[in-house]
Amino acid sequence: MPEARAAYLCGMTALSITADTMSGIEKVPLERYVAPAKPSLVGMSRAVLAQALADIGVPQAQHKMRVQQLWHWIYVRGAQSFDEMTNVSKELRARLDAHYTLARPEVAAEQISVDGTRKWLLRLPGEQATGRPHEVECVYIPDDGRGTLCVSSQVGCTLNCSFCHTGTQRLVRNLTAGEIVGQILVARDRLNDWADRSTKNETQTRQITNIVMMGMGEPLYNFDAVRDALLVVADGDGVGISKRRITLSTSGVVPNIARAGAEIGVMLAVSLHAVRDDLRNQLVPLNRKYPIAELLAACRDYPGLSNARRITFEYVMLRGVNDSLAEAKALVKLLKGIPAKINLIPFNPWPGSAYECSDWEQIEKFSEIIFNAGYASPVRTPRGRDILAACGQLKSASEKLTARERMALRAMAMTE
């Protein structure tokens, strides 16, 4: 297999067992990605697509034209079979079909919230053909004038953030670039969001306008695949979502923050959640490896940072833990000099969690201090709580909820 395609299909960032993994800061993957005999073309870069064509005997002089044709059919028209590609010769379509697919993740389940939020449980092949399939969740959040798709980067998560439901799950493996891009294609399939979709209003805009890498996993621990996937998503001749409308969220993997700015160039969000190291060590154990001072230094140096390209700092509101007015004032001082927006997130409960959401009155007082200091401080409206699709709630069905947990979840939804 040519080197470029081998690197694409591997889709794994090497993780070694270190003192950090043993101390509970990070987890190691339990399984690995195994490439199918017929790989999908979804998620391949233009260069890798050209190599794939070369592998089946397409002359080099045709590569640029053929890559553009494939790119259009996959990312503009949403083709799910080579037979749909009417401007590609039957002979080439047959060759492509013999060696490749256009497969995306399989939709195992779909849930629709009372607020219109949709959550898909997506099934991926496991390491062993006879073993348990891997599963991730992807969430679509409609709003006035925009639609945001929350995309996963790992099966499970490398980290152990104590307030996050996904953090209680094991790390099974990293997703490939194709599996990350595939989530977006699946969402467009389900929402009928392709260029040739039939609508009553021909001027209707796209339903998916924004992408956030805030689903399952820590994106910067799967850097190469996330980078390659987001560059495909941002390509103007394909999916065409502007880098200004793509946000990558990290818990603070400091060494890869600068790389994200230089090599991907999307908007950055940082899960901060505390203003002092002792508390953040508990909430975000990664802080023991990359403390607040190092994290904020990396943020100040983020490539392209400006008032027009601010960093979003996410701050989950936990009653009696991090929501005092003194902490609001400390947060303002901590971020001084960084072009920033501070996104206050009411804690989204999940069965077994040890935390409670701050009172609304306290959230408003906290927000007012930040706003008066000159920072935008929107309070994120919880969406999809009733289907466990809100921020911090994602956890694949690879780890099923017990009947008691389901009852607790329903009770939470009814009291919100």
**Which CATH number does the domain housing residue 19 bear?**
1.10.150.530
Q: Which residues contact 61 (CB under 8 A, 6 or more apart)?
A: none
CA distance 216 to 153: 6
The verdict on 53 and 197 lying in the same domain is no
Measure Cα distances from 228 to 152, 219, 235, 300, 383 in Å.
14, 12, 11, 25, 29
Residues 38 and 118 in one domain: no
Please tell me the distance from the alpha carbon of residue 50 to that of residue 3, in angstroms, as a whole number: 13
Per-residue pLDDT of the chain (416 residues; tens, 9 = 90+): 444 444 444 443 333 345 565 467 899 998 888 889 999 999 999 999 999 999 999 999 999 999 999 999 999 999 999 999 999 999 999 999 999 999 999 999 999 988 889 999 999 987 765 567 899 999 999 988 899 999 999 999 999 999 988 888 889 999 999 999 999 999 999 999 997 655 544 445 789 999 999 999 999 999 999 999 999 999 999 999 999 999 999 999 999 999 999 999 999 999 999 999 999 999 999 999 999 999 999 999 999 999 999 999 999 999 999 999 999 999 999 999 999 999 999 998 888 888 999 999 999 999 999 999 999 988 866 665 565 544 444 454 444 444 444 434 333 333 33
Closest CA to 333 of 362, 290, 296: 296
Domain count, the chain: 2
Same domain for 54 and 130? no
For the question of residue 357 being annotated catalytic, the response is no
Which residues face 340 on adjacent strands?
Answer: 311
Is the Cβ–Cβ distance between 10 and 16 less than 8 Å? no
Same domain, 385 and 290: yes
pLDDT score of 248: 98
- The answer to whether residues 175 and 33 belong to one domain is no
The token pair at 357 is 């959401």
Query: Under DSSP, is residue 18 helix (H, G, I), strand (E, B) or coil?
Result: coil
The answer to whether 347 and 358 are in contact (CB under 8 A) is: yes
DSSP element (H, E) containing 135: strand 134-143
Name residue 154's beta-bridge partners: 174
Same domain, residue pair 307 and 376: yes
Residue span of the structural domain in which 265 resides: 106-415
Which residue among 83, 99, 115 closes a domain?
99
pLDDT at res. 382: 63
Q: Which of 26, 135, 137, 218 is catalytic?
A: 137
State the chain's maximal CA–CA distance in angstroms.
70
Same domain, 140 and 59: no
Residue from 157, 299, 357, 391 carrying the catalytic annotation? 391
Closest CA to 172 of 110, 120, 217: 217
Which pair of structure tokens corresponds to residue 199? 């609508």
Active site residue 138: no
